[in-house]
Every structure is written in C-alpha cells, then in structure tokens.
Structure 1
Amino acid sequence: MKELKFLGLSLLFFGVASAQDVNEAKKAIDAEQYQKAKTILNSLISSSPDEGKNYFFLGDVYLKQTEQDSAAIFFNKGKAVKNNAEFNNIGLGQIDLNAGNTAAAQAKFDAVEKELGKRDVEQLIYIGRAYINAEKPDYAKAIAVLNKAVAKDSKSAQAYLSLGDAYYGERKQSEAYSAYRNALLYDSSLLRAKLQMAVITKNTRVAFPEAIKAFDAIVASNPNYGPVYRELAETYYIWGVTEPAKKKEYNAKALSYYEKYMTLTDYSLNSRMRRADFLLLTDDYKGLEAEALKMQQMDKVNPRILRYLAYSQYENGKYAESSASMKEWIAKADPKRIIARDYLYLGLSNLASSVGQDAQGNAIITNQAAFDEAIANIQKAAQTDINITNEFGAVGQKLFKQKLYGPAAVVYGVATTNPDNKNLMADNFFYAYSLYFDHVNKSAEAQKGNVENLKKADTALAKVIELNAQSQDAYLYRAKVNRYIQTPEALKTMAESYDKYIEIVNAAGQAEVTKQKKNLLDAYSNAGAYYAVTDKTKATEYFNKALALDPNDEYVKGQLKSLK
C-alpha cells in the first residue's frame, strides 16, 4: 500500500499568501486529512491565483492519492503563474519519474536547481521528496539532493525529516533514526519525526511492546493525530502475523485502531481505499465487501473498487459474482495495474463455479469451458509474477482432493517452475503424485500415449529426493511410476527406488514396518520380480521377506518355487 509509506511529508509550507490558511492546510496534510487540505488549497488558489506554490501543493496532494492526471492539471497551471512557478516543474518531474522518464525529470530538476539562490533550500527538499515518492523510488539520489539542502541550512528540520525518509527507504535504519532525531532537535513539534522513530522500532519485529509504548506517547501528546492510529493498527497486524496464537486478538485491535484513524482523517474514496487495503491484509473479507459496496455507491466509475469486490466476493463464497467483478476490473483497468493475484482470483472463482458433484458425491467438471479458462488464468498469474506460485499448493491440493488429478498436475507443474518456491519439495511431490493418479485412472489405451507425463513425474520425484534423501514416499512412487514406464532403464530405476524405500522403512522400526505393510509387500514383490532375472539371491531374500509379512501370498510362493 504505497499511500501508507510516508504520507503527508512532502508538503512543506513556506511564506504563502495567508499564513493562517497555509498553516491549517499544513496541519490537514500532515494529519492525512486530504479532502480538508484540498478545500483549503482550492480556496488559496482562488484568493491568490498568482502564487505557484498553491498549485504545487494541491497537485502534490493528488499525487499522494495516485490521481496523476489531476495532479498534472494543477502543475501545468502553476508553472504559468508569476510567483514560485518553478515548484510545479518539480511536481511534473515526479510525474516523469513515475513514467520511467528519468532524463526528463532530471532536466526539470536541474533547471530548478540552476536558478536557486544561496539560501534556497525548500526546492531541494521537494526534489528529494520527488525521488522518494516516485512509483520506483531512487533513494540514493534523494539522499544526495537532501544532503545539499542540509549543507545549505544545517538547522532545517524539514530537510532532516525528508533525509530520514530517504535513509529509511534505503533500509539504513541507523542513519534514518539519526536524521529524525536531528529534525526533532530543530523542531520539537514534529510529531511525524517521532512517529517515524517509533516505526523504526516496530520494524525490528522483536520490539513491538517498545513501539506500542512510543506510539502511545504520541497519542498522549496529541490524541487527535490520526497517523499514529494507523501505525498502531499496522503494528498490531504485524505482531499478529509473528505470533499466530494471538493473531485474532491483535487483528481485532488493529481494525479498531484503523477505524479510529479513519474518524480522524476523512471518509473520502481514497481514504476508504486505504482502509480496504488494510481489511484485505487482515483477511476481513466481510468488512471488505461492505466497504467496497459503499465505495461503489460513492463512485461507480473507479475500476479499482471492482478488485476489492472480486477478492471479497470469492472469499465470501460468491464465485459467479467474483468472476464478473474481476473480469470487469481487468477490462477497465490500466493493463499496468493488473497483478498476478487478479488472475489467480479470476481462475479460482471460475474453478469453484465450474466443478460440481454427481449423484454419488464425486467431483465432476460441470462447465468445461469455464474450467479450462480457470486453469489458463491460474497459469497467467504465474506468468505475471512467478512468486505467486508459493500459493499454488493450496489450489492443487483442493483439485487433488476432488480427484481432478490432471488439472491438479497442471497447477503443481506451474508451481515447480519457480526455483525459489518455498514449497518446492511438496509441490514437486504432489506434481508427480497427481500425474501418477491421473495415469492409473486412464483407460489402457490412453495410458499408452501418456508415457511423457510419467517421465515428468519421475523427474519431479528425483527432485524431491535431491531435496530430501530420506523421503520414503518419493522412492515408493518413483518406483511405481517407473514400473508403468516399462523401459529397461525405468525398470532398473524402479528396483533401485524400491530398494531405498525398503531400507528407509525398515530403519524406522517395527511400528513403521507394520504401518507400511501393504506398500512393503508391493515393494518386495515387484523388486523381487526384477531381481529374479538379474540377482536371484536378492530376489529370494525379498520374496522371503514378503512371505514373512503375508504367508498366504500365492504369487510370492510361486516365485520362490521358480527360483529353486
């Protein structure tokens, strides 16, 4: 949630037309009351149309709310007025940065810097903040520019505040903390600096109580300072993630603090979207759906609302509605805004609504076209961001339990293409497992043309064994898979895999041997049949062990007779 990064830090007000009005606007922005700030700034533009900073400040508010087109309108108006027009080139430079046009941005910043007087610091601070607030921040450049500002004015609290943000973004926590401390040294009223120092404490993950204490101190000094409640909400959320046993309790606190934050900021569409992001983080899908519907009443045009609706509708079991909302979002949104999770949810909603049950309770595909589309969108999610495959195991598991082995294999197969998948071993195993059960459930004729899939299963099981050489199930199913492949090489791999499976099970003790009796019989019998041709002594040993497990096994008795 980019809006939650360093909200309200870039609008620094110096010497505009009405000191009282500007001061109110400054307080509103730092408190993240953006609608109130817009009202004040629009009034200032009406009363002082020749002051360029007013246009810049208003444009920057729109940038904070990711309304870039509106921001550009005010920046372009502001650069044509008499006083302080150059500030608007800084705003336009940030838009260039957002578009990836760093050369155009640099040219604008250089032109502003070239005209600066010896004591001009404000413009440098804004240039630094443009680098910080860009969609792809360049913290190193921000630090360089802000250090110029500090060199010009070593007592500029706002320069140190922004420098702290740049170091924070660069993950240089010590330098950030020092810069915030300097900001407070030169302006003890800067609650934002105190807030960010507490955020740094929170980010250690082992100092949540200390961070809460620091946030509470800010509340005590100013109980109407909204941003501190947002930070309290985020702290309790993260604390719940790190301590699952308390997640429910801490999520409830987090949501309560976020509601307090909303009451102290505003209930504008943008604020509601920030709240929706937080509801999504805390898995409050009923609350998210209700919030999305409220936003839709406020603005039936903004397509981002459809994403919230689609996610929450799926999680609330409204699969057809979720699919419709997600398709509309993808159709209306800027293609750059479509993320992997959008395709995943579209796939999941179509999957859920295209699988049913027959009279016996078996899973069946009720809409093949929708099902195929679902699998395609799940694959597209991985193409969009391979890291989302970390979540594919749960999707594959659901399909596997429904005995939809072929589709499960497709999902697991995509997951195994990510070498950094945190579930790589399990996903490789279930990929092979799904391919195996898909094969054995095919007709004899269909099995003849399915050898390549069996080879994929063998490769996946070899990967599992590479990751865990003691995985007895991997050896067992590698043996089973190669038994179906039937080539001389495959039969050799089958026997060797059974050997290893037998070794691991017996080493585990009698309890495991008893538990694995059926599979051990299968292993001794099939490996014994292979060794009957290549190693009669070993074959005899295996058949005798099989007979010890089941003295009535007629196949084993017959094999032992033929070996004598």
Structure 2
Amino acid sequence: MNKFKVLSIALLAIVASSRAQDINQAKKAIDAEQFESAKTILKSIINAKPTNGTAAFYLGNVYMLQNNVDSAKIYYQKGLAGTEGARLNNIGFGLIDLDNGNTAAAEQNFALATKDLKKKDIEEYIFIGRAYTYSLKPDYKKAIEVLNKAKLINPQDAQLNLALGNAYFGDKNQNEAYSAYRNAYTIDNTLIRAKMQLGVLLKGAKAYTEAIKAFDEVIAINANYGPVYRELAETYYLWGRNEPSKYRIYVDKALVNYEKYLTLTDYSLNSRMRHADFLVLAGEYKALEAEANKMVELDKVNPRILRYLGISAYQNGNYDVAIKSLESFIANPANKVIAMDYQTLGFAKIKKAVGEDGKAVDNALFDNAILDVKKASEMDPNGLSLNISDVGKKLYELKLFKQAAAVYEIAVANKESKNYILDNFYLGNSLYFDNTRKDIVKPDPVALQRADVAYGAVIEASPKTQDAYLYRARTNSLLENDEMTIKYYNDYVNVVTEKGPEELAKPATVKKIIESYNTSAASYANTDKAKAIEYFNKTLALDPTNQYALESLKSLK
C-alpha cells in the first residue's frame, strides 16, 4: 500500500511537471509567434484540466493577438472560474477595457488581479504593464509605473526587464529601453526576443545597417527564431523607402525574409493576413492577389479576404472584381472599414467609368466613385492626398477636365498635403479648360470663380509661380472682369521680368507677354483709349509685325 502511495505521488509529480512543461511550450510558441501551435497546446491543457486558469488566460491572450476579442472573452471568463491562475484573467478583461477606452473599469480589473498578492509575486504586475503597453490605446507611462513596482520586488527578472524595455520603447525613451533590453538578455541569454529588440531600437532610429547586423547576430544564435525575419523584412522595406534608388533591391530582400518568417511561424489564415498586410505596404499587388486566393481556399467567408482581393484586383486592373469585393466588404456592418477601402473602391469605379481612353465616360458611375473617394478623405484627411493627386493627373492627361476637377477638389481639401500647391494649380486649369472646350456655348461663371480661388491659393503659397497669374488673368477674361484681367496679366509680366533676361528671352515667355499686353489693351479699349494704345505699343516693341496690335491701333486712332 505504501509502495502504491509512493508511486502515485511520483506519478502526480510527473503529470504536474508535464503540465508545467506544456505551459512553457505554449509560452515559447507564443514568443515565436507560432500562434496556432500555442492554441493547440493550451487547448489540450484545458481539455485535460478545465480549471486551469493560467492556460485559459494565455489562450485568451493568443486570441487577443489575433484580434479575436469574442474568443478571448470566452477563455478569460472560463479562466476566472479556475483553481489556479484565475486572477490573471482579470488582467485580460482589463486589457479589453483599455481597448474600449474604459480606463476606470480596467483599473478595477487590475485591482482584482493584484488583491492579496504575496510579497514576492510580480507576474501580475508584468501582465498589467504589458496590457498598458499593447492596448489599442496605450499608456506607456502607466505601464512603466506599474512595472517599476515589480522592479522594486525583483529587479533581476528577465521578463520584467523585457516588459520595461517595451514600455520605454513605446514612450520613445531609447536609452532606458536599451538598458532594459540589455539587462533582460544578460539575466537570461535564452530570452532571444530581448536581444532582437536591441535591433528594433536601431531600426526605429533609421540605423538600418546596424539593425540588420544586430538581427544577423540573433540568427547566428538561433536561425529558427521566426520573428527576427519579420523584423528583417520590415527593416529592408523601410530602408528601401529611405533610399529610392535601391528600393527594388531592398523590397525583394524584405519579401524573402517575410516568406522565411511565415515558414517558421505558421501558414494559418491569420499569419497569411499579416503577410497580406505587409504586401499592401510594400505595394506587391501580384503577390497579394496570389496570397488572397490562397486565403480563399482556407476560408471562403472571412471578410478581410475581400479587402485583399479588392486592393489587389484594382492594382492589377481587374476593376469589376475590385468593386464587387470591396462593396461586399463595406456592406457588412461587422467589418472595420478603413479609408483605404473606400478610396480603392472609388478609384476602381473611376477606372471603370472612364475606360482606357476616356472617350465614353459613365457619368453616373463616376459621380458615385467621387462619393467613395470623398468618404475616404473624410476618414483620413492627411494620408491619401498623393494618391488622389495621381488619379486627378491621369484624368487631366486624358483631357477629362470636368472629372479631373472633381478629384482635385477632394485633394485640395487637405491644406497639409505636400501636393497642395500643385493640386490647386491643376484644379484651376481643369476648371478653366473645361470652360474653353469647343462645344461650350456659355462658360460656367461658378466654375470659373472657383478656378480663380484655386489660382489665388497657388499665388498665396508660391508668389513666384508665374503661370498661376497668367491663367488667373485668362479666367477673369472669360468672366469679363476687365479690372482683374489687367491686374493679373500685369502681375504675370512683373514676375517674369523679375526673373531676369534669361526668362524674358524665352520664345514661350515672349508669346505670353504679348498675350498679356494685347488682352489688357483690349480690356482698356472701351474705357481708356490712351492706356489701350500704350499696351498695343508695348506689343509692337516686342513684335513689330503683330497683326492684332497693328489693326487695333488703326481702329483706335
């Protein structure tokens, strides 16, 4: 009987050790971003012991990492009823509260998690610090405050130092972050993420050569650590953005490293979506379309796949698929729609409405497209202007001036745009040229007045832009506003004269000066003959054979 008891105790110890090992395996899988593997391990632990609150908490965390809040809530709730690690699940609910902007509720949950802690317990503080750090609405200073409480208890805890490094990094305190990461790796040299984060600091400082060297050191220690290849991919991508001449070389390296990351993590739908997000960022739309189609095979109903299909189809010229995919995605109220969704949908409709040559425009579809692009601009007024400008320029080049003007109207709404001056110039030109078409019976005064305002914005921001004065004068001439016509033609002549003899000697400039003098003279003809004669004589000083000036002078005399 005693022998049986001894064997039973030994067996229980082995089982307990096995379970602990399983949790450690799950932790390693989470750190390695092998989330599907971690979920399998944690679910097996919960199936074997449904009251394991620690496993439920970690499983909830994995679902949070995968943006599946509903599943996370289920496991946090299950974990609260556990017999071990139950209090940790309050932190999970606190994280959800932080994401929802309910700080008071989060603090109540965190208080429940830390109530009656033993003096040497710091795990709860570490997870609370991480919650403040990784929330959708982070509070890095609060995270540092909580983690420093734990540091007073045990400053030599590696995970604590790693968490502090992340909080300081989020708070843009590079020196403290470096110190914390270094301490974490010194305390536990198996904590390879801490060493990797030293490279992340360098990446954030745009020290790309040094960052890649740091990541290569991590690979030398453990070539199978997946996250380091993701960091390499992002570093090469950013490096390419900062050195346009080498963009293609670096982006190709980025794509290779991201593929390596996938092979070392998992090829689940979730990881494929992370890959798709990176392909969108890198502008690799052929690869994105291939990835989207692979995701359809895995899950035909996941709505985010429609976004990737829509974006890639638009970029690859398949506008019908783009429109169908994005309209279906946007129509689902459960989906989190972003500005890019509306913008891409609008651009796809514009392409379809205009066609390749712009000779047969579907005006109803175009007008509908403009509503989508406006919606995108309202959602993200600062992030989309350059793309809008590109679309407007293509319409302008097709001589679809009315349509180009509608696009440029959206672009100039963002006064912070780098293209603000040029967009206003093209807006003015689009409206002007649309009112000088051969089939125009009578110019639209409202459109021309808007053109005048657009040219005014150019002149205010860039007073030396000579053609803005010229076109503003032409616009006012169409509006039959003689006073302003003369003023802006004079301004044009003054600006080009200030630029010196070289500018004045250009045949194109001479032609425009003659236009300025002749039109100003014609404007004066009915009110001030002396001025009209003066301006026609200025023309003849430049071009003694100018027929219009010669004949006009005869009629004036």
Structure 1 position 26, deviation (Å) = 1.8
Question: 2-side partners of 1:276 and 1:444: how far apart?
Answer: 48
Greater mean alpha carbon deviation, residues 372-381 or residues 499-508: 499-508
Which amino acid is 1:269 matched to? L
> 1:409 — aligned with what?
405
Paired with 2:241 and 2:454, the residues of 1 have a C-alpha distance of 32
Equivalent in the alignment of 2:289: 289
Matched, 1:509 2:501: yes
Q: CA deviation at 1:401?
A: 1.4
Moved more, 274-283 or 528-537: 528-537
In structure 1, how many angstroms separate the alpha carbons of the residues matched to 2:169 and 2:358?
A: 55
Deviation for aligned residue 1:58: 0.6
Aligned partners of 2:91 and 2:127 also within 8 Å: yes
The two structures have a TM-score, normalised by structure 2, of 0.92
One-letter code aligned to 2:339 = A
- Alpha-carbon distance in 1 for matches of 2:17, 2:278: 36
Aligned to 2:426: 430
- The 1-side partners of 2:476 and 2:415 are apart by 25
Letter in 2 for 1:68: V
Cross-structure match for 2:452: 458
Q: Could you tell me how far 1:539 is from its partner in structure 2?
A: 4.2
Identify if the C-alpha distance between structure 1 residues 348 and 283 changes in structure 2 by more than 3 Å, giving closer, same or farther. Answer: same
Does 1:376 find its partner at 2:371? yes
Classify 1:421/1:22 alpha carbon distance in 2 versus 1 (closer, same or farther; 3 Å): same
Partners of 2:536 and 2:556 lie apart in 1 by 10
Q: Which residue identity is paired with 1:254?
A: A
Q: What runs of 5+ residues in structure 1 fail to find an aligned partner?
A: 1-14
What TM-score do the two structures reach when normalised by structure 1? 0.91
Compared CA separation, residues 198 and 356, structure 1 to 2 (3 A): closer
Name the residue aligned to 1:345.
344
- Counterpart of 2:258? 258
Give the drift of 1:550: 3.8
Counterpart CA distance in 1 for 2:502 and 2:99 is 65
Aligned equivalent of 1:497: 488
Q: Which stretch of structure 1 is more off in the superposition, 93-102 or 468-477?
A: 93-102
Corresponding residue for 1:59? 60
By how many angstroms is 1:257 displaced? 0.8
Q: Match of 1:202? A: 203
Cross-structure match for 1:68: 69
In the alignment, what sits opposite 1:115? 116
Partner residue of 2:4?
A: none
Question: Matches of 2:58 and 2:417 in 1, distance apart?
Answer: 44
**Aligned AA (1:395):** V
User: Residue 472 of structure 1: which of 447, 466, 470 is its match?
Assistant: 466
* Alpha carbons of structure 1 residues 60 and 297: separation in structure 2 relative to 1, 3 Å: same
8 Å contact from structure 1 (residues 59, 75) kept in 2: yes
Pairs within 5 Å for 1:121-520 = 121-205=122-206, 207-332=207-332, 334=334, 337-356=336-355, 363-365=359-361, 367-387=362-382, 388-441=384-437, 445-447=441-443, 450-487=444-481, 491-506=482-497, 507-510=499-502, 513-520=506-513
Q: Say which is worse superposed, 401-410 or 193-202, in terms of deviation.
A: 401-410
Question: Which amino acid letter does the alignment assign opposite residue 320 of structure 1?
Answer: D
1:443 Cα shift? 5.5
Seen in structure 2, the aligned counterparts of structure 1 residues 478 and 247 have a Cα distance that, compared at 3 Å, is same
Q: Please tell me the residue identity of whatever aligns with 1:150.
A: K
Q: Is the CA contact 2:358–2:400 (under 8 Å) kept in the aligned structure 1?
A: no
CA distance in 1, matches of 2:266, 2:50: 27
Secondary structure of 2:355's partner? Answer: strand
Indicate the RMSD between aligned Cα atoms, in angstroms: 2.0
1:112 and 1:29 map into 2 onto residues whose CA distance is 22
- Contact kept, 8 Å, 1:52 with 1:84, in 2: the verdict is yes
Unaligned runs of 5+ in 2: 1-15
Contact 2:91-2:128 within 8 A present in 1 as well: yes
Alpha-carbon distance between aligned partners in 1 of 2:124 and 2:97, rounded to the nearest angstrom = 17
d(CA) in 2 for partners of 1:554, 1:188: 89
Distance 1:502 1:127, change over 3 A: same
Distance of aligned partners of 1:233 and 1:552 in 2 relative to their CA distance in 1, 3 Å threshold: same
Distance 1:479 1:527 in 2: 9
Distance in 1 (alpha carbons) for counterparts of 2:438 and 2:141 = 59
Count of matched residue positions in the alignment of Structure 1 and Structure 2: 539
One-letter code aligned to 2:546: D
Cα distance in 1 between the residues matched to 2:240 and 2:101: 37
Take 1:226 and 1:77, find their aligned partners in 2: how far apart are those partners? Answer: 31
1:36 corresponds to: 37
Distance (Å, rounded) in 2 between the aligned partners of 1:177 and 1:528:
72
1-structure distance, mates of 2:285, 2:544? 58
Distance 1:543 1:130 in 2: 77
Q: 2:551 aligns with which of 544, 558, 561?
A: 558
Q: Deviations over 1:58-109 (max 9, x none)?
A: 1100100111111111111110122221111111111122222222212111
Report if the CA contact (8 A) 2:23-2:55 is conserved. Answer: no
Return the offset for 1:369.
2.3
Q: Structure 1 residues 444, 208: closer, same or farther in 2, change over 3 A? A: closer
Q: Given residue 343 of structure 1, which amino acid in structure 2 is its aligned partner?
A: Y
1-structure distance, mates of 2:287, 2:393: 28
- Give secondary structure in 2 for the equivalent of 1:119: coil
SS of 2:506's partner is helix
Distance 1:538 1:149 in 2: 86
Q: Are 1:17 and 1:51, in contact at CA under 8 Å, matched by a contact in 2? A: no
Task: Compare 29-38 and 19-28 and name the one that shifted more.
Answer: 19-28
How far off its partner does 1:541 sit? Answer: 4.4
Asked whether the 8 Å contact 1:16–1:53 carries over to 2, the reply is no
User: Is the CA contact 1:405–1:437 (under 8 Å) kept in the aligned structure 2?
Assistant: yes
Retained in 2: the 8 A contact 1:505–1:513? no
Contact 1:293/1:309 (<8 A) preserved: yes
Shift of 1:419: 1.9
CA contact (8 A) 2:144 2:168 kept: yes
Secondary structure at the counterpart of residue 470 of structure 1 = coil
- Counterpart CA distance in 1 for 2:75 and 2:510 is 77
Amino acid at match of 2:548: Y
Cα deviation 1:164-192 (Å, max 9, x = unaligned): 11111122222211211221232222211
3-state DSSP class of the match of 2:360? strand
CA contact (8 A) 1:340 1:380 kept: yes
Q: Are the structure 2 counterparts of residues 68 and 468 from structure 1 closer, same or farther at C-alpha, using a change threshold of 3 Å? A: same
Q: Which stretch shifts more, 454-463 or 469-478? A: 454-463
Could you tell me how far 1:195 is from its partner in structure 2?
Answer: 0.8
Deviations 1:137-171 (A, max 9, x none): 22122111111111221112111111111111122
> Is this contact kept in 2: 1:415–1:424, CA < 8 A?
yes
Change (3 A) 1:317 1:242: same
Structure 1 range deviating more: 535-544 or 457-466 = 535-544
Pairwise CA distance, 1:210? 1.0
* Amino acid aligned to 1:437: F
Are the aligned partners of 2:421 and 2:457 in contact in 1 as well (CA < 8 Å)?
yes
Q: Aligned equivalents of 2:108 and 2:406: distance in 1?
A: 50
